[in-house]
Structure 1
Amino acid sequence: MPREVGAPAKLRDVAHHAGVSMGTVSHVLNHPDKVSERTRERVLASISELGFVRDANASSLAAGRSRSIGLVVIDLANSMFVDVALGAQNVARNARRNLLLAGSQDDFTLQGENVDFFDEARVAGLLLAPLQDSAAQIRKVRSRGCPVVLINYDADSADVCSVIVDNEQAGYLAANHLMEQGCRRIMFVSGDDDSLQPVQHRRAGVRRALRERGTDVRFEEVRMPDLTERSGAEVGRRVAARGPGTRPDGVIGVTDTLAAGFIEGMVGSGIDVPNDIAVMGCDHNTAAASTPVTLTTIAMRGQRLGEEAMTLLLDEISGGGEHHLHQRIVVEPELIARGSTSRALSPSA
């Protein structure tokens, strides 16, 4: 049947124009190594002349799953997750896969909707970077044949791959760094939602470092309703209003946004950072607000997380899940010392 004038070209139109079968056109699009160079060039010329665009949705339905990979992160405003996406995309491109990205704006319900959307789009696999237990969402998509790899969340399960940064070590490095700068009154500013695993683990790392130090370090924790710069600034103003002898001399924000807000509140109240109070963040979020002094933080190595996670997912996809060995890869964080903790203090004995 001839194509109607103005109608989009279909696969059969390309086959007719190139004088080949529809199966040959499909091979050119999906398995070019199976077609001779001369035939491939003829088909590609017909595709170009007819303006043919492949219907990815139809291809997905026919094949069961598409060649696309979904990535759902909890917060695209955090540059760590942008780094995760870059790392995942680099590996996906080398495997001739497409990466589709969705951010959940710190909303667990929206995260579930994003997961469902990608599953309905028949992605070949899903990378999921949550902050809290997402087992029910994972079970649902895996039951329909979509493999899942977790990023920056330790599921404590042997039936799913995960690539995590050692968040406890991040807290440990932060507390030790402040003590090495001579700080002996340390405050940890965090959130009050105990379901957020990275926050739990960073808190545990801070406490472990303090236990190892002994009894000459005072510790206090302030929990805020959220992890925003506004909350950090509020704590900063509260601390500035206290007497000099009752203030901490070192502060760890569980996120860079909290730490940046804290510095804003302190400096606005006339407190010198770092000489009066040293301040550091804990997730190397370059999207956090700029501060009067550069912010010491802990690099979470997001690009490495994305690369490792995508490699695991592609292995599970290619193995059909039957021969795939689930793995748990741990990436070590790294201290980045900057101006907000550089002080002329020597550690006390």
Structure 2
Amino acid sequence: MTDVARAAGVAIGTVSNVLNHPDKVAPATLERVQGAIAQLGFVRNTNAQQLAAGRSRSIGLVVIDISNSLFVDIARGAQRYATELSMNVLVANSDNRIDQQRADLDFFDGARVGGILLAPMEDAGDDVARIRTHGRPTIMLNYDTGRNDCCQVLVDNEEVGYLAARHLIEIGRTRLAFVGGRDYLQPVALRRRGVRRAVAEENGRVTLQEIPTENLDPPGGLRAGEELAPQVRDGRLDGVIAVTDLLAMALIQVFGAEGIAVPGDVAVMGCDHNSAAWGGMIPLTSVQMQGIDMGREGVRLLLAELGEDPATHEHVTTVLRPELVVRESTVGRSAISAASV
């Protein structure tokens, strides 16, 4: 600031006003000081400013897989709300790696962000507890810790599976398969539970088989599709629920290559409304996960916690309701066209 004041021929206090209260500075003086800053190549040290003020205007967001549009929507919702409050959201993608997730949390902790939003796929309780001991509030997104040591924003993942199965049952599909990963991934376990609940309500009229996959990516869907194709041809299968949209699109790819009509021979749907899977020849029925609302609510809870005494703050859990989005992969093009008229 001293160098800028000298170059612009003004007092240090004027430079401070240009940086923090530009409305208080005459236009000609403002232009002269900004010109000096540009000439000298100086950039405001925001971290130092926030540390000096005793508060940060930045929030860290750690997601498990930025290629999934759920997490993009979470980031978008968080950023929109934060922007309204003149705050920033810094996003880190842990790329489905627990070690990278831990490194991302440590980075934001070291950067002294005001707080952290974390959307994991597996339990991160130990890491969250460590971060919180440093005075860094952490809000969990789309993962129920089962504990009362932090605020949470959840989508009812059991309801996601239930809505998917009910939809197939209501359009007349009675021989169903659930294609999913392993139950150590909480969303998978909960969506499976919802599918089972919907089938159980039919008292034996609807059958269900479960096809496990090693992961939630397309290769797992390709292998599952090869296993299920013969059953579709034999009339033993007429509806498939994939725990993710990427798995569902891989299934449709295999069925198409095998000459199996979707949804004529078998209806196929996903469960996480991933925009990466919307570009196929057959638009995919899925379940909307309310990611934008989740990000917004996460920021709201974080700021509420920051404004309260840690000793008296009570952690809360907000549960958002998923919504079915019907497309051609379960009801066909004609039904979608008729509904849009």
Normalising by structure 1, we get a TM-score of 0.87
Moved more, 113-122 or 156-165: 156-165
What are the Cα deviations for residues 99-127 of structure 1, in whole angstroms up to 9, with x where unaligned?
Answer: 11111111111111111111111111111
Specify every segment of 5 or more residues in structure 2 that has no aligned partner in the other structure, as ranges: 336-341
Structure 1 residue 28, shift from structure 2 partner = 5.9
Match of 2:61 in 1: 71
Cα deviation for residue 275 of structure 1 reads 1.0
Q: Which residue of 1 aligns with 2:289?
A: 300
Residue identity opposite 1:217 in structure 2: V
What does residue 146 of structure 1 align with?
Answer: 136
Percent same amino acid among aligned pairs?
45
Alignment of 1:84-99 (within 5 A): 84-99=74-89
- Indicate which of 101, 118, 127 corresponds to 2:117: 127
1:116 aligns with 2:137: no
The aligned counterpart of 2:157 is 167
Question: Is 1:222 the counterpart of 2:211 in the alignment?
Answer: yes
Is the alpha carbon distance of 1:92 and 1:28 closer, same or farther for their aligned partners in structure 2, counting shifts above 3 Å?
Answer: farther
Deviations 1:267-310 (A, max 9, x none): 11111111111100000001126333110000001111111111
1:54 corresponds to which residue? 44
Q: Alignment partner of 2:298: what SS?
A: helix
**In 2 relative to 1, CA 154–246 (structure 1 residues): closer, same or farther, beyond 3 Å?**
same
Match of residue 100 from structure 1: 90
1:337 aligns with 2:326: yes
Q: Are the equivalent residues in 1 in contact too, given 2:70–2:273 (CA < 8 A)?
A: yes
Match of 2:254 among 237, 243, 265: 265
| Aligned with 1:186 (options 176, 189, 192) | 176
Runs of 4 or more above 6 Å deviation: none
SS in 1 for 2:287: strand
Q: CA deviation at 1:98?
A: 1.1
3-state DSSP class of the match of 1:330? strand
Secondary structure of 1:213's aligned partner: coil
The Cα of 1:158 is off from its aligned counterpart by 2.2
Q: Which stretch shifts more, 324-333 or 273-282? A: 324-333
Q: Tell me how far apart the structure 2 counterparts of residues 42 and 27 of structure 1 sit (CA, whole Å).
A: 11
Q: Does structure 2 retain, via aligned residues, the 8 Å contact 1:64–1:122?
A: no
Give the C-alpha shift of residue 92 in structure 1.
0.7
Is there any run of 5+ residues in structure 1 with no aligned partner, and where? Answer: 1-10
Distance 2:190 2:173 in 1: 22
Tell me how many residue pairs correspond in the alignment.
330
Residue 226 of structure 1: how far off its partner (Å)? 0.5
- Quote the offset at 1:166 in angstroms: 0.7
CA contact (8 A) 2:277 2:284 kept: no
Cα pair distance change 1:289/1:323, threshold 3 Å: same
TM-score, normalised via structure 2 length: 0.89
Q: Which residue number corresponds to residue 338 of structure 2?
A: none
